[in-house]
């Protein structure tokens, strides 16, 4: 059976859906790509969604373009503030080999985005004890993380604030530093940055 190629109309519709999903994520703080896609489809009156819904990477590209065109200055200011808070948190928790991940690392974070960090410890409680020792109020959570297309695991997590920025931490076992989870954007291993790399981003 011959493979069907998307029509120009289908391509235009995918592009329009990606742009609308990006706008929804930027303006309303929605973090879930699928939710943003469905809302975009509803707004544009698309009912045969599965055939034309854009990929997550297409939405992230559209989000970066939206931020560049419509919110460049405010986006850069909020992103710098988020990265400064990330670095401050990483320095406080340096013994857990923190890594920055997600939109704050990629540069597509909105003002609503949380700073996402991966920490590595034999015991998640040791991270909580460190926060208590530093006088940082926190909430204990649990994060479901996709480690491969077929495998989703639950890991302990923590939420707290640094410099008025929300920090969301996932605590992996110490050997978890060798295998990054799957990125929800492109399905590849998630990019992680250490404190030195985050410092370099702030200096750019």
DSSP string for 27-49? HH----HHHHHHHHHHHTT--SH
In this prediction the pTM is: 0.83
Question: Above 60 in pLDDT, residue 19?
Answer: yes
**Using CA atoms, how far apart are residues 141 and 159, in angstroms rounded to an integer?**
7
Our CA angle for 167, 168, 173, nearest 5°, is 130
As a whole-number percent, the residues of the chain with pLDDT over 90 amount to 65
We find that the CATH architecture of domain 73-203 is: 2-Layer Sandwich (3.30)
Domain coordinates in residue numbering, the chain: 8-70, 73-203
Number of H helices, E strands in the chain: 8, 5
Higher pLDDT, 132 or 68: 132
**Using CA atoms, how far apart are residues 133 and 52, in angstroms rounded to an integer?**
51
Query: What's the pLDDT score for residue 181?
Result: 96
Question: Above 90 in pLDDT, residue 26?
Answer: no
Strands 115-120 and 138-148 turn out to be: unpaired
Question: Above 70 in pLDDT, residue 163?
Answer: yes
pLDDT average, residue stretch 155-164: 96
Query: What's the pLDDT score for residue 157?
Result: 96
Beta bridge partners of 169: 117, 158
pLDDT average, residue stretch 159-187: 95
**Using CA atoms, how far apart are residues 101 and 116, in angstroms rounded to an integer?**
6
Which tens digits make up the pLDDT trace of 107-126?
Answer: 999 988 999 999 999 999 99
Dihedral pair phi/psi, residue 57, rounded to 5°: -65, -35
* Range of lowest pLDDT (37-51, 63-77, 141-155, 177-191): 37-51
Query: What's the pLDDT score for residue 193?
Result: 98
Q: Check if the beta carbon of residue 6 is closer than 8 Å to that of residue 88.
A: no
Query: What's the pLDDT score for residue 1?
Result: 43
Q: Token pair of 158, please?
A: 């923590």
| Rama region for 202: left / alpha / beta (φ>0; ψ in -120 to 50; rest) | alpha
- Mean pLDDT, the chain, rounded, equals 90
């Amino acid at each position: 059976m011959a493979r069907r190629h998307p029509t120009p109309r289908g391509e235009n519709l995918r592009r329009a859906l990606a742009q609308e999903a990006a706008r929804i994520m930027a303006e309303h703080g929605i973090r879930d790509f699928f939710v943003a896609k469905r809302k975009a489809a509803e707004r544009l009156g698309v009912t045969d969604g599965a055939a034309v819904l854009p990929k997550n990477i297409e939405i992230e590209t559209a989000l970066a373009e939206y931020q560049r065109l419509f919110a460049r200055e405010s986006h850069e200011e909020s992103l710098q503030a988020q990265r400064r808070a990330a670095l401050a948190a990483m320095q406080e928790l340096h013994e857990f080999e923190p890594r920055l991940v997600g939109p704050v690392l990629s540069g597509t974070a909105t003002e609503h985005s949380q700073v996402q960090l991966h920490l590595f410890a034999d015991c998640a409680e040791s991270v909580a004890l460190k926060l208590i020792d530093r006088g940082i109020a926190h909430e204990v959570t649990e994060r479901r993380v996709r480690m491969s297309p077929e495998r989703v695991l639950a890991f302990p997590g923590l939420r707290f604030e640094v410099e008025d920025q929300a920090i969301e931490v996932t605590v992996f076992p110490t050997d978890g530093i060798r295998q990054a989870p799957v990125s929800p954007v492109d399905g590849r291993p998630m990019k992680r940055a250490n404190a030195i790399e985050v410092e370099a981003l702030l200096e750019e």
